[in-house]
């Protein structure tokens, strides 16, 4: 099991959080997604390492942008 944390830019409401969770949750191998609106933190649990580019693409599909990886 692997846990990775990212920072998402541009989220302003609960709908933003839901959109990011839904898109990132569809990435193959992802088992759990947590998003904190106040801090912008996106925590991704997965079966194994997931390519950060796939997470970034999912976040962009939701309409937001990764600011970085923690």
CATH code assigned at 23: 3.30.70.100
pLDDT tens-digit series, residues 56-70 = 999 999 999 999 766
Please determine, for residue 14, whether its predicted confidence score (pLDDT) is greater than 90.
yes
Q: Reading across the β-sheet that carries 41-46, which strands appear in turn?
A: 30-36, 41-46, 2-9, 65-69
Contact predicate 44/24, CB 8 Å: yes
Count: domains in the chain: 1
Q: Under the phi-then-psi rule, with left for phi > 0, alpha for psi from -120 to 50, and beta for the rest, what region is 32?
A: beta
Range of the domain at 23: 2-69
Per-residue confidence band for 1, with pLDDT thresholds at 50, 70 and 90:
confident
pLDDT tens-digit series, residues 18-55 = 999 999 999 999 999 999 999 999 999 999 989 999 99
């Amino acid at each position: 099991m692997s846990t990775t944390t990212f920072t998402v830019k541009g989220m302003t409401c609960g709908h933003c959080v839901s959109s990011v969770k839904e898109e990132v949750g569809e990435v193959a191998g992802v088992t759990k997604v947590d998003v904190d609106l106040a801090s912008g933190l996106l925590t991704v649990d997965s079966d194994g390492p997931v390519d950060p580019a796939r997470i970034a693409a999912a976040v962009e599909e939701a309409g937001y942008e990764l600011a970085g990886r923690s």
